[in-house]
Structure 1
């Protein structure tokens, strides 16, 4: 609340900001790729819970989104999904891939 009160006193919420030289005055924001999300809330220390609109059907769907990555692996086609993909020994994304696929309901795709 203190950050919001402090930010409200600065340009950006009620007065124009100096774009493009100082675009982030006021309350600090973090850009995240959560397209079609209608509502977002904390689920726990690791996940956000979002209510988003399905692009193909227009239906609303609840989804979990990992904090830090702010994306769902199942929303993208990536090299991890190819049947012949082999993780390099030092691949730093392997654990995230297993976590992401499991929380999205596709544990069989996390190799």
Structure 2
């Protein structure tokens, strides 16, 4: 039969045992935030652009003259047609698309919003 102190011991994974009460106390002392994860605006733009291109009825992304010139020179940009604004924890994406003739634009716009979210 085990004593109370043996029941409260936990293995740390390194072959060592610690008292369960000490482990719980150490866990309470950990900070809520360990660090920050930062995602570059360009990465968010690429993901939003790829998501928008998956929608039926979207035939391409509408970019600026500079993006068109870069594409002409052979530099493909997956972020073409996407403008990202980051304000604290809020990200706003403006997505500019070319829609197939005869498509229902409001339906496509709603689907793009859902895909990008």
- TM above 0.5: no
Higher helix fraction: Structure 1 or Structure 2? 2
Q: Normalising to structure 2: TM-score of the pair?
A: 0.22
Instruction: Specify which structure has the bigger relative contact order, considering alpha-carbon pairs within 8 angstroms and separated by 6 or more residues.
Output: 2
Q: Report the TM-score when normalising by structure 1.
A: 0.22
